[in-house]
Homo-oligomer: A and B are copies of this chain.
Amino acid sequence: MTRLVVCCFSLSIDGFGAGPRQDLENPLGVGGPAMFDWFFRTRTFQRMHGGGEGGETGVDDDFAARGFDGIGAWILGRNMFGPVRGPWPDEAWKGWWGEEPPYHVPVFVLTHHPRAPLAMKGGTTFHFVTDGIESALRQAKEAAGGKDVRLGGGVATIRQYLRARLIDELHLVISPVLMGAGESLFAGLDLASLGYECVGHVPGSRAASHVTVRRRE
């Protein structure tokens, strides 16, 4: 059965998934990169970004690699695709990742503004979905060919899918960082009442902790 999963989603101990004031220079928000320190060090990340065989192996890298295994399609909120707001002025923005994005499968981008599909090198095609999160999920599941669909983020998008109880499993990575402000994953969202529970916890290679949250059937 195709599940909707969130993987490697970094949080500060005060529950923020991104720092404040996200923009082109600070796509993770001001101070946000500190939450991803565990990920930037992994071999999986280094490979994705041209670092060859550099980077660390171990628990963190195992989780990072697993986040790409068995994934047949992705869903991204528009901010995860780029900083452009409002109608697309042209076709110039092609994502944060250059000519060959690290997805290699269909990626469904949530937006209010239609745009033609965008095929990139390496098998990634961005599809722009304007009719809501359930439509995006339906399309992604069809495209996933029996594999899982990974929801990349950002925080607001994950919160929408959580409220609708559409996420089957989340792998959260709690980094020992205090953001103070930014986008809170949990504020005003009662995950226990929505049927979610922690089912696993593994200390990371470095300072972060890996927590698995699953929706009860």
> Which residues of A line the B interface, CB within 8 A?
11, 13-15, 31, 172, 174, 176-181, 186-187, 190-194, 196-198, 200-201, 203, 207, 209, 211, 213
Task: Knowing A13-B174, A198-B177, say if A203 contacts B192 (CB, 8 Å).
Answer: no
Are B198 and A178 in contact, CB atoms less than 8 angstroms apart? yes
Can you report 10 residue pairs joining A to B where beta carbons are below 8 Å apart?
Answer: A11-B13, A13-B172, A13-B174, A13-B198, A15-B186, A176-B201, A176-B209, A176-B211, A179-B192, A209-B209
Question: Number of copies of this chain in the oligomer?
Answer: 2
A213 closest partner in B (C-beta)? B178
> How long is the Cα–Cα vector from A136 to B180 in the complex, in angstroms?
27
Are A190 and B196 in contact, CB atoms less than 8 angstroms apart? no
> How long is the Cα–Cα vector from A180 to B196 in the complex, in angstroms?
9
> How long is the Cα–Cα vector from A31 to B209 in the complex, in angstroms?
22
